[in-house]
Amino acid sequence: MKYITEFRQKDVSANLARAIAQEVQPDRTYRIMEFCGGHTHAIFRYGVQDLMPANFEFIHGPGCPVCVLPIRRLDDAIELAENHDVILCSYGDMMRVPGTKQNSLLKAKARGADVRMVYSTLDALKIAADNPTKQVVFFAIGFETTTPPTAVAVKKAKEAGLSNFSVFSNHVLTPAAVGAILDTPGTPDEPPVELDGFLGPSHVSTIIGTRPYEAAAQTYKKPVVITGFEPLDVMMAALMIVRQINEGRHEVENQYTRVVTADGNKKAQALVAEVFELRDSFEWRGLGQIPNSALKLRDSFADFDAEKRFDIAPKQSREVKSCECPAILRGTKGPLDCKLFGKTCTPETPYGSCMVSSEGACAAYYSYGRFRADQSEGKVA
């Protein structure tokens, strides 16, 4: 598979591992947050941490739009499906996430709600075109990577006069989240996360470019390396960030140059700007309210905004007590620190989004890495 298998070569990984081991300074730890859930997944799936020196730690970040969606928004989506006689279209990732009282889209479907899994917003548009007498709502989630496809769909719906189509927008923005993590003050129970650098998101950056991270790197004086998803990309980025830390630099470097440029995808950015605008504030699971961190449809597309079209009841949504997802998303605790992990909370019976999303730290750890519990000294990864 071109541009895929070349970046998974074992012998190159061994060389990179040796290079990293040479360059880490033995008297310190390197705590690097991989922001993106996709990196968490890749690290566990390929066992990348086995190739890293012991004083290099991956801290798993909140870059999984499934994990950071607050329960209230998921409950709203389930309500749309159950009480408003709509066809609710959703990406596969959200189907099993538990909302309040362990309800989920999949469970709503089992009870008769018309919930359909789609691979693309184009599928949702087709469902709307094929069912003109029914309301079709697309449950939009995702960071900047996934937002342009929603923008294209909304524009197409407007052009085609698909008046039965609407979008429930939960699109969120990455740089705001990076800032929020670094800004989170500690509490006695939960000291602030100590980070030495970030592995920046791969595909968000193909859209937004590398420039948006420069402010964060300067303000917080932490190096950022935009990293590809393949395991060799992760290791090369680890080497780059180790070098920055050793040399006292805090720059934005681009490891993923084959698809990421400084400016990003201007066409996609323009489409998003045409259809969406910033919300003043949006609640992120685990990070609380973050200003200017999410998107809603502009007034010119208000006809396609599910929040305006439907009267969604305000709710009392509740997190499960003892669920440590919020702290895990902030990187201050690990899956093993959660009382529920592996006992009541498992992939079969997930209590929090960190366990349901295949990229959540808990799911990744449980499915790929829990054999390490015997060998670990309490390390998260």
Partner 1 sequence: MTGKTNKACIEMAHGGGGRTMDRLITDIFRKHLDNEYLSQANDGALLPKTSGRLVMATDGHVISPLFFPGGNIGSLAIHGTVNDVAMMGATPLYISASFILEEGFPLDDLEEIVRSMGDAARQANVSVVTGDTKVVEKGKGDGVFISTTGVGVIEDGLAIGGDKAVPGQAILINGTVGDHGVAILSKRENLEFETEIVSDSAALNGLVSDMLAAAPSISVLRDPTRGGLAATLNEIAGQSGVGMLIEEEKIPLKPAVSGACELLGLDPLNIANEGKLVCICNAEDADKLLSVMHAHPLGKEASIIGKVTQDPNNMVRMTTMFGGTRMIDWLAGEQLPRIC
Partner 2 sequence: MCLALPAKIVALEGEDMAVVALEGVKKSVSIALIEDTQVGDYVLVHVGYALHKVSEEEAERTLAIMAEAGVLTEEVRESLGEAS
Q: Which positions touch partner 1 (CB under 8 A)?
A: 1, 4, 8, 10, 13-14, 17, 37-38, 44-51, 64-66, 91-93, 95-96, 116-120, 123, 142, 146, 231, 346-350, 357-359, 366-371, 374
> Binds 77, which of partner 2, partner 1, none (CB < 5 to 8 A, cut-off by type)?
none
For the bound state, the minimum distance from the C-beta of residue 120 to partner 1, rounded and expressed in Å, comes to 8
Residues with Cβ within 8 Å of 78's Cβ and at least 6 positions away in sequence, in order, are: 99, 103, 104, 105, 108, 113
Looking at the DSSP bridge assignments, the partners of residue 289 are: 283
For the bound state, the minimum distance from the C-beta of residue 378 to partner 2, rounded and expressed in Å, comes to 27
For the bound state, the minimum distance from the C-beta of residue 295 to partner 1, rounded and expressed in Å, comes to 17
Q: Which is nearer to partner 2, 340 or 364 (CB)?
A: 364
Tokens of 239: 């080497």
Per CB under 8 A, 286 contacts partner 2: no
Residue pair 323/351 in contact (Cβ under 8 Å)? The answer is: yes
For the bound state, the minimum distance from the C-beta of residue 53 to partner 1, rounded and expressed in Å, comes to 14
For the bound state, the minimum distance from the C-beta of residue 99 to partner 1, rounded and expressed in Å, comes to 17
For the bound state, the minimum distance from the C-beta of residue 215 to partner 1, rounded and expressed in Å, comes to 26
Among 113, 207, 226, 275, binds partner 2 (CB under 8 A): 207
Nearest CA to 203 among 275, 137, 122, 268? Answer: 268
Total binding residues toward partner 2, as defined by CB under 8 A: 57
> Binds 8, which of partner 2, partner 1, none (CB < 5 to 8 A, cut-off by type)?
partner 1
Per CB under 8 A, 251 contacts partner 2: no
| CA dist., res. 118 & res. 98, Å (int) | 19
> Binds 18, which of partner 1, partner 2, none (CB < 5 to 8 A, cut-off by type)?
partner 2
Provide the mask over 123-162, with x wherever binding to partner 2 is found by CB under 8 A and - wherever it is not. x------------------xx-xx-xx--x----------
| CA dist., res. 328 & res. 61, Å (int) | 8
Among 51, 52, 59, 64, binds partner 2 (CB under 8 A): 64
Residue pair 24/56 in contact (Cβ under 8 Å)? The answer is: yes
> Binds 46, which of partner 2, partner 1, none (CB < 5 to 8 A, cut-off by type)?
partner 1
Main-chain dihedrals φ then ψ at residue 124, nearest 5 degrees: -65, -40
| CA dist., res. 315 & res. 75, Å (int) | 8
For the bound state, the minimum distance from the C-beta of residue 239 to partner 1, rounded and expressed in Å, comes to 16
For the bound state, the minimum distance from the C-beta of residue 371 to partner 1, rounded and expressed in Å, comes to 5
Residue 194, SS3? coil
| CA dist., res. 259 & res. 254, Å (int) | 10
Looking at the DSSP bridge assignments, the partners of residue 165 are: 136
Main-chain dihedrals φ then ψ at residue 290, nearest 5 degrees: -125, 120
For the bound state, the minimum distance from the C-beta of residue 230 to partner 2, rounded and expressed in Å, comes to 10
Per DSSP bridges, beta strands 288-291 and 276-278 are unpaired
Q: Please name the helix (run of DSSP H) or strand (run of DSSP E) that holds residue 62, with its range, or none.
A: strand 56-63
Nearest CA to 201 among 251, 151, 147, 260? Answer: 260
> Binds 348, which of partner 1, partner 2, none (CB < 5 to 8 A, cut-off by type)?
partner 1
Residue 135, SS3? strand
Provide the mask over 74-113, with x wherever binding to partner 2 is found by CB under 8 A and - wherever it is not. -----------------x----------------------
3-state SS record for 23-36? HCCCCCCEEEEEEE
Residue pair 222/195 in contact (Cβ under 8 Å)? The answer is: yes
Query: Greatest CA separation found in the chain?
Result: 67
Q: Which is nearer to partner 1, 42 or 217 (CB)?
A: 42
Among 26, 27, 119, 185, binds partner 2 (CB under 8 A): 119
**Which of the stretches 33-41, 160-168, 308-316, 322-330 binds partner 2 when contact is defined by CB under 8 A?**
33-41
